Amino acid sequence: MNLPLTESEPDAARTGARELLELQQAAFLCEGPPTAAVRRERIDRLTAMVLDNADAYVEALVADYGTRSPTGIRFAEIVGMLSVLEHTRSHVRSWMRSRNPSPAARLMGIRAEVQPTPLGVVGIVGPWNFPLNLVILPAAAAFAAGNRVMIKMSEVTARTAELTARLAAEYFDPAELAVVTGGPDVAAAFTALPFDHLFFTGSPRIGQLVARAAAENLVPVTLELGGKNPVVVGRAADIGRAARRIARARMVNGGQVCVCPDYVFVPEEHFAEFTGALRTELRTLYPAIQDDADYTASVDRANYDRVVGLIEDARTRGAEVESLAPPHEPAADPVTRKIAPTLITGVTDDMRVAREEVFGPVLALRPYRELAEVTGHVAAGHSPLVAYWFGPDDADFRTFVRNTRSGGVARNDFAIHMFPSDAPFGGVGHSGMGAYHGKAGFDTFSHHRTVVGSALPFPVTALAAPPFTPFLRNGVGLALRAAAFRARRRLGR
């Protein structure tokens, strides 16, 4: 995707997306904030659109990837989001209620309330790794908050995009939900529109361009990005169990997940044991790869070449690279775009694999002596989307949590920080800004407007505008002296 727009890009992409936005903006202004019943019904239709056509989505995603597990698609793309959708739907009415921030102020004749109000039209730009899940969940949150929604699907998974566009037209009026498809020119036109909020899931590099394009119209953005997610095996961990779980976590969707483990720190005294257990588990899991319909391929040749390039760069710079390809199978096949699980040791900071998010079935392994080495390394880099710890909830774990920064922390399992339906999910720093899931999503797509009324027998402006009476001057001076006394006392002065 090339942003921002240039004059050479087709006007049709710009015009079509803008007309949809104007249609939704007009409908929002005409109808006003929808009722709780309307919001829930929109979420119900969104859910039905997916569930009624689950088999069609599986077929489209398998075709887009070349090889991707149908069972994995059903679980990760569809089943995995149902609890969040249900939680969102069931809490819409309670989240919509105004709150009274200062109950005691009523006694003084001031009534204040904070009203969650919809923003208007939300734009959502989806990724290719989970092209269904990662547009449906933010769309449901935007509906819960009372907004209209426009979605730009990834052109990399074109069949899934076209299917979603066709189904959206069957289940929704375009003034409620519209799905836009197309390549980089359409994406550029979409992100340059004056939405009321823009939600993007993808890489940090493209996230920067999206934020820059949105800034031209002062559009607030939520960026769900990625990063190099560290894994720390604690000294008190069950080494075999940790290796087995980390092996499986790295291979979810062929490693093409923003919350996949990227590199692993292992106590040096357990390094050989861990590496052996990891190697055994991966070979046991994948006795064959090229003919395995459940082994996910790289989504396209560009991503395949990028991951292979990371491996070869590490090898050239002196790392030890171990492919766990089955006997008589290649380490990587450009025709099937399948890359065998690969372990890299002896990693140094000048290697690309040490700096770039891998997004493939590759794990870099690093020994450590002291926990401070680990926390120092993680803290010195960009904040990851998730940090993993394997071992008990002990003092070392709490030190790791306290001395590092990440979007979330998961202990002893893959992505479990995403399991609670009402827990916010999002990144921090280089891994993103803003959050969604549960009420966090409702709040992201709402403006919390303060409404205050006065029944005081005098205007507040009488205290702020001249002329100032001697009584008021003395009162202000007394208030300042009292505040200064409190501050000095708290500081022990």
What is the set of active-site residues?
Answer: 224, 258
Whose structure tokens read 């022990």? 492
The three-class DSSP label of residue 99 is strand
Cα-Cα-Cα-Cα torsion 372, 377, 378, 382, nearest 10 degrees, comes to: 150
Contact 256, 359 (CB under 8 A): yes
State the alpha helices, DSSP H only, in 126-196.
133-144, 158-171, 184-191
Fill in the amino acid letter for 364. A
Backbone angles phi, psi at 296, to 5 degrees: -75, 135
Task: Determine contact, residues 89/40, Cβ cutoff 8 Å.
Answer: yes
What is the C-alpha to C-alpha distance for residues 434 and 223, in angstroms, rounded to an integer?
7
- Whose tokens are 């709490």? That residue is 398
The kind and range of the H/E element at 55 are helix 54-65
Q: Output the DSSP codes for 222-248.
A: EEE-----EEEE-TTS-HHHHHHHHHH
- Closest alpha carbon to 228 in 248, 252, 250, 206: 250
DSSP class of 298: P
Q: Quote the distance between the C-alpha of residue 156 and its chain's center.
A: 19
By C-alpha distance, which of 248, 255, 251, 246 is closest to 226?
255
Distances (CA, A) of 344 to 312, 358, 360, 413: 11, 12, 13, 22
Query: What are the φ and ψ backbone dihedral angles of 459, each rounded to 5 degrees?
Result: -80, 140
Q: Report the residue count for the chain.
A: 493
Residue indicated by tokens 């290796």: 243
Q: Which residue has the tokens 């569809």?
A: 78
Question: What is each CA distance from 88 to 36, 40, 201, 408, in whole angstroms?
Answer: 12, 9, 20, 21
